């Protein structure tokens, strides 16, 4: 196995971006269970994110969602972040919550709606200029619910056109991260349903367009690590939206549903050179019933544990067994790392990094949970609608 010192050095280079919206309320179509102490402003979301970074040491940036995090002065917001040891991260666009987008945004049959949607995307690039963000994450809920409802191919043409216009607007250091999703909220056809579609569009756009893999956005049974390996081989993996699922896009805490899958994904990341600044590690989750800040701390820890295990794989032993066609030996080389309990190693790494060895306990002791419940009275809690 890789020596633990090397693993710890690698872990120090990892950064996991947390999403502003995960600090706010979320739910299912049946009910949003509001939680006490939830932020009411982008600033308060950053305050919470700062707690996650303080206790884990690996969550230094926060993704924003426009319009949910729209502010008048992004420089001031960036300063608010900086003062708490954070930076603003990826800008996430939203072209799915305006009444005009009922039948689509950039793929809508009506050119006026398409122009409006494109306008929003371009505004997001303006915001990136203001926040200094590198990445624009594009998720399109666009699709249709019924066969025949709209023309699949024309919608691809319209999508292409919008993407090209956004790409054109990007600065030299800016990127599009194009997200795909199997289904929901569209229930018959989704305009960017799989990695192949996202890849084909990104390929035509150019090097500043990259695919983002949301781990909850695949058909049942899909081998996600294969996609990761393939996109890395093609130079087209821009990042991850981490979460976990048992069924659909459940948006549970990453690592909660299938920790072995997360490990296999992280192994392909490490093996394929994806453990680099070019690949953004982001969370995209909904904490519908569990308290949000500790859920995010746990999620960050889960990614970190999976990463540590992936780093522990004895690459030489694995390659040797693979070369020799030793099926059981090669599988064992991988499983050996997976079965290792890396929690002691991570506790060590945290102590060496000046952190509490147990982030969950440290957060509990901090009193932050009680404080925000007490202080955040009145106002409008943040959620998907605002």
* Segment near a second copy (CB under 8 A); pick from 53-61, 153-161, 170-178, 350-358: 153-161
Told to check if 111 binds a second copy by CB under 8 A, we report no
Told to check if 360 binds a second copy by CB under 8 A, we report yes
Told to check if 1 binds a second copy by CB under 8 A, we report no
* CB of 51 vs a second copy, minimal distance in Å: 15
Q: How far apart, in whole angstroms, are the C-alpha atoms of residue 308 and residue 136? A: 28
* Neighbour count for residue 384 (Cβ, 10 Å): 16
Give the bridge partners for 209, in sequence order. 176
CB-based contacts of 52, cutoff 8 Å, min separation 6: 18, 59, 293, 296, 297, 300
Told to check if 294 binds a second copy by CB under 8 A, we report yes
| Site of tokens 């994904």 | 265
Nearer to a second copy, 125 or 231 (CB): 231
Residues 65-94 within binding reach of a second copy (CB under 8 A)? none
1, 15, 103, 170: which one binds a second copy (CB under 8 A)? 103
13, 327, 373, 374: which one binds a second copy (CB under 8 A)? 327
Nearer to a second copy, 15 or 317 (CB): 317
* CB of 294 vs a second copy, minimal distance in Å: 6
CA 74, chain centre distance (Å): 22
Residues 170-209 within binding reach of a second copy (CB under 8 A)? 182-185, 187-190, 193-197, 199-200, 203
Residues 227-286 within binding reach of a second copy (CB under 8 A)? 227, 229-230, 232-234, 245-248, 250, 252-253, 256-260, 264, 268, 271-272
Nearer to a second copy, 151 or 370 (CB): 151
Residue-by-residue DSSP string for 97-149 = SSGGGGG-STT-SSHHHHHHHHHHHHHHHHHHHHHT--EEEE----EESSTTS
5, 112, 172, 328: which one binds a second copy (CB under 8 A)? 328
* Segment near a second copy (CB under 8 A); pick from 60-68, 85-93, 116-124, 323-331: 323-331
Residue-by-residue DSSP string for 171-206 = -TT-EEEEE--SSSS-SSEESS-SHHHHHHHHHHH-
* CB of 98 vs a second copy, minimal distance in Å: 8
- How far is CA 277 from each of CA 4, 172, 206, 300, 367, rounded to the nearest angstrom? 22, 16, 19, 17, 34
- How far is CA 11 from each of CA 4, 69, 133, rounded to the nearest angstrom? 10, 30, 23
* Neighbour count for residue 17 (Cβ, 10 Å): 26
* Segment near a second copy (CB under 8 A); pick from 8-16, 70-78, 146-154, 171-179: 146-154
330, 345, 355, 372: which one binds a second copy (CB under 8 A)? 330
Cα angle 214, 355, 374; round to 5:
75
Residues in the interface with a second copy (CB under 8 A) total 104
Residues 213-232 within binding reach of a second copy (CB under 8 A)? 218-223, 225-227, 229-230, 232
Residues 18-57 within binding reach of a second copy (CB under 8 A)? 26-31, 33-34
**Cα Rg of the chain (Å, integer):** 21
Rounded to 5 degrees, φ, ψ at 138 are -110, 110
CB-based contacts of 271, cutoff 8 Å, min separation 6: 229, 315
Nearer to a second copy, 46 or 252 (CB): 252
Nearer to a second copy, 81 or 313 (CB): 313
């Amino acid at each position: 196995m890789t020596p633990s010192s090397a693993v710890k050095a690698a872990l120090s280079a990892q950064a996991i971006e947390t999403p502003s919206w995960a600090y706010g309320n979320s739910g299912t179509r049946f009910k949003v269970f509001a939680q006490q102490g939830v932020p009411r402003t982008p600033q308060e979301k950053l305050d919470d994110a700062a707690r996650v970074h303080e206790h884990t040491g690996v969550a230094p940036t926060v993704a924003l969602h426009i319009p949910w995090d729209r502010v008048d002065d992004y420089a001031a917001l960036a300063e608010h972040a900086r003062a708490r040891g954070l930076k603003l991260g990826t800008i996430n666009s939203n072209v799915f919550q305006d009444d005009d987008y009922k039948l689509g945004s950039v793929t809508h049959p009506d050119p006026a709606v398409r122009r409006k949607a494109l306008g929003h995307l371009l505004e997001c690039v303006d915001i990136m200029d203001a926040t200094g963000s590198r990445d624009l994450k594009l998720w399109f809920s666009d699709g249709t619910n019924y066969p025949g409802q709209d023309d699949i191919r024309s919608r691809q043409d319209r999508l292409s056109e919008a993407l090209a216009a956004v790409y054109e607007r990007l600065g030299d250091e800016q990127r599009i991260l194009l997200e795909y999703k199997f289904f929901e909220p569209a229930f018959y056809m989704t305009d960017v349903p799989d990695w192949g579609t996202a890849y084909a569009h990104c390929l035509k756009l150019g090097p500043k367009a990259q695919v983002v893999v949301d781990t909850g956005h695949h058909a049942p049974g899909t081998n996600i690590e294969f996609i990761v390996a393939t996109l890395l081989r093609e130079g087209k993996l821009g990042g991850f939206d981490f979460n976990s699922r048992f069924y659909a896009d459940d948006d549970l805490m990453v690592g909660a549903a299938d920790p072995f899958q997360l490990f296999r994904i992280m192994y392909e990341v490490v093996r394929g050179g994806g453990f680099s600044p070019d690949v953004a590690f982001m969370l995209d989750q909904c904490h519908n019933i569990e308290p949000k800040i500790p859920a995010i701390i746990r999620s960050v820890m889960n990614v970190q544990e999976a990463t540590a295990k992936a780093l522990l794989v004895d690459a030489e032993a694995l390659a040797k067994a693979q070369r020799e066609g030793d099926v059981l030996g090669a599988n064992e080389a991988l499983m050996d790392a997976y079965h290792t309990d890396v929690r002691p190693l991570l506790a060590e790494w945290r102590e060496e990094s000046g952190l509490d060895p147990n982030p969950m306990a440290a957060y509990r002791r901090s009193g932050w949970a009680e404080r925000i419940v007490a202080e955040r009275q009145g106002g409008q809690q943040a959620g998907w609608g605002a």
